[in-house]
Amino acid sequence: MKKITVKEVANIAGVSTATVSRVLNNNYPVSDDVKTRVLEAVKNLNYTPNGIARSLKSNRTNLIGVVVADISNSFFMNLGKGVEDVLEKEDYNLIFCSTNESAIKEQKILNVLIEKKVDALIISVCDSNFPMLETLMANDIKVVLIDRKLTSAHADCIVNDNFSGSFLLTDYLLKKGHTQIALLHGNLSTSTAQERLDGYKSALNKGNVPLQEKYLLDGNYSRQRAYKEVEKLIQSGNLPTAIYCGNNVMAEGVIKALKDYKLDIPQDVSVVSFGMIDNQELIEPRITCLNQNPFLMGQKAGEIILRKISSNEDLMSKEVVLCNEFIEGESVKQINLVK
């Protein structure tokens, strides 16, 4: 199998390689006669240009890295779909990568993506301290942070209003009479987990409900960990009246654990979740939650990327904060207050 290159096409069409390129890119005047001859040759030879060679010249790959914590979490999946929705129209291709919340894996992935010369990177960092940002920028890779932001550095980012959302959920539980509220939080080195923790604390504080260390549980944004933490609560006899799940997958783990231990939601334990679980509408009881919009997040990220790529000037970096929708289900019991 012989490889077909511009050279072959040029030979067949009886023109130079430069002309072939001009016809294909349609960016310089070419006589109609020559044009048709070239296009004919292209067709006959079934020629496809080599994108790699092109990239080497142009310094653009049309590849965008999308790095998230957990590719099997539908939240990140939908986020990716949002990005794709915007970028595919512009003929970009996405490389999806999953860090599994490991900074080491993240580091490795980023190095590969730098080598691959992705034009831009959309990343959900697994630590709010992110030294690689400079390296990426030094390599002329546009970066947009998504869902999770950094403590210091200024970079474009799209995030949720985690603090307010968390405050709202906690406050809702308080209003329903709960004071024994466990927070199953994610990896605290992420801004999302940290801000949700802050919102929780703030609501408790406002409600004059003391914070109890035993109710701060680290679920590491993992279904399994969440399951185990609930198991521990049950076995220790420390069951709170409500569990606030820090994200969708942990909520799934919690619901499964309660189900397995024959505890009823909300009769035995109330449950709320930051983020909606898969097939939420098919599950009884409906879980009261904050519905994020990862697809929209992805779209916004895609749009920013496009803007950054096209306008080469350094735009002011921008923080987009998306609001969440509160969905009231039947997963929280009204507790009678003992006055």
Partner DNA sequence: GTGAAAGCGCTAACAA
Partner DNA sequence: TTGTTAGCGCTTTCAC
Burial 33-60 (b: 16+ CB within 10 A, else e): ebbebbeebbeebebebeeeeeeeeeee
Q: Which residues pair with 322 in a beta bridge?
A: 160
In the list its own copies, DNA, none, the entry touching 6 (Cβ below 5 to 8 angstroms by class) is DNA
Q: Which is nearer to its own copies, 48 or 311 (CB)?
A: 48
Residues in touch with its own copies (CB under 8 A)? 1, 3, 46, 48-53, 55-56, 61, 63, 71-72, 74, 77-78, 80-81, 84, 91, 93-98, 111-117, 135, 138-140, 252, 255-256, 259, 277-279, 281-284
In the list DNA, its own copies, none, the entry touching 338 (Cβ below 5 to 8 angstroms by class) is none
- Residue 64 Cβ, how far from DNA at the closest point, in Å? 20
Q: Which is nearer to its own copies, 63 or 230 (CB)?
A: 63
- Residue 48 Cβ, how far from DNA at the closest point, in Å? 7
- Residue 65 Cβ, how far from DNA at the closest point, in Å? 19
Q: Which is nearer to its own copies, 107 or 179 (CB)?
A: 107
- Residue 315 Cβ, how far from DNA at the closest point, in Å? 24
For the chain, the C-alpha Rg in angstroms (whole number) is 26
**Residue 321: its H or E element:** strand 319-322
Q: Which is nearer to its own copies, 71 or 234 (CB)?
A: 71
Contact 162, 196 (CB under 8 A): yes
In the list DNA, its own copies, none, the entry touching 85 (Cβ below 5 to 8 angstroms by class) is none
In the list DNA, its own copies, none, the entry touching 97 (Cβ below 5 to 8 angstroms by class) is its own copies
Q: Which is nearer to DNA, 92 or 227 (CB)?
A: 92
In the list its own copies, DNA, none, the entry touching 80 (Cβ below 5 to 8 angstroms by class) is its own copies
Contact 125, 157 (CB under 8 A): no
Please provide the distance, in angstroms rounded to a whole number, between the alpha carbons at the two ends of the chain: 86
Task: Classify 164 as helix, strand or coil.
Answer: helix
CB atoms within 10 A of CB 236: 9
CB-based burial label for 85 (10 Å; 0-12, 13-18, 19+): middle
Q: Which is nearer to its own copies, 200 or 227 (CB)?
A: 227
In the list its own copies, DNA, none, the entry touching 16 (Cβ below 5 to 8 angstroms by class) is DNA
Q: Which is nearer to its own copies, 71 or 309 (CB)?
A: 71
Q: 193-198: which pairs have CB atoms within 8 A and are 24 or more residues apart?
A: 193/221, 193/246, 194/128, 195/162, 195/163, 195/166, 196/162, 196/163, 196/165, 196/166, 196/246, 196/274, 197/166, 198/163, 198/166
In the list DNA, its own copies, none, the entry touching 316 (Cβ below 5 to 8 angstroms by class) is none
